Amino acid sequence: MPRNMLRHFLRIVAPVVFVGSLLLFSAPSAHAATVGPKSHYLALGDSLAYGFQPDLDFSHGYAEDFYADLKNHGTSSYANLGCPGETSTSMINGGCTFSVLRKFPYIGSQLNAAVIYLKLNPGRVSPVTLDIGANDMLPDINKSSCTVDPKWPTDLAQMDTNLQQVILPKLSAAMTVNGQRTGDLLLMNYYYPYQNLCPTLLPYIQLFNQHLAADASGYATIVDVFTPFGGAATPNPNICSDTWMCSIFKDIHAKSAGYRVIANAFEQTAGY
């Protein structure tokens, strides 16, 4: 990849994860992770689901790590539809920024591809993991001035609508066979990579994750990623050890060690 193209790629894709934090509580949803693992595992989301790293190692994401654990429980197939740069809107309508990088080929939107995959494998897919929403809110954050754009509430409401009215209901319906839920749907919230740079934005991140929890209610189980990444403490040394923020890349994505932390959070929440 040419150097100037790589710089452009990193500048656009890096924000995918920007926001992160756990809601400060972990309320159980109506569909807790109780179905258990099946033969197929489906990973959905943005660059974290994809496993992006700025050193161009895309093979050590949390989905790969989680799948390695699931294989010990009988899961034998893994499909990763994650797309770097995905927003909740592009997940519904298509147009992911870096669709050319997809690990699993499909045409159209990620949501439609996921529904098709689930319908082609009825009752055989569990778990389904999802991380989405950070790119919806990232354009509202100015990390240079540590300020938030006034349109934050509007964009947050749009994310809620996309998750509550489209994404989660469609996934849930596709995971229901003969009136029975046949798989576990796990939605993660995010660590906060700018925690040492803009700690004053933490209340906004907490609000973001609280919305994710509310959106998940009745459809998915929230996975706590914020706490194992160091929680709300500032300064947070985990940001340097688990992400690329303190490297020459100054990149918000997880390192391989950080992806292992995320995978562990999924494993613990699933309880398999």
Q: Residue 102's pLDDT is what? A: 75
Q: Residue 21's pLDDT is what? A: 35
Tokens of 107: 């045409």
Question: Is 214 within 8 Å of 25 (Cβ atoms)?
Answer: no
Mean pLDDT of 119-123: 98
- Residue of 210, 221, 219 whose CA lies nearest to 267: 221
pLDDT tens for each residue of 183-223: 999 999 999 999 999 999 999 988 999 999 999 999 999 99
Angle, CA of 213, 219 and 222, to the nearest 5°: 35
Give all domains of the chain, ordered by start, each with its CATH number: 3-270 (3.40.50.1110)
Q: What is the pTM of this model?
A: 0.87
Strands (E) located in 121-259 = 125-131, 141-142, 147-148, 176-177, 180-181, 185-188, 221-223, 243-244, 251-254
92 or 15: which leads in pLDDT: 92
Question: Is 63 within 8 Å of 80 (Cβ atoms)?
Answer: yes
Tokens of 194: 């700018």
Q: In the structure, what pLDDT confidence band is assigned to residue 100 with cuts at 50, 70 and 90?
A: low
* Euclidean distance between CA atoms 143 and 123, whole angstroms: 44
pLDDT tens for each residue of 33-88: 589 999 999 999 999 999 999 999 888 899 999 999 999 999 999 999 999 999 99
Mean pLDDT value across the chain: 88
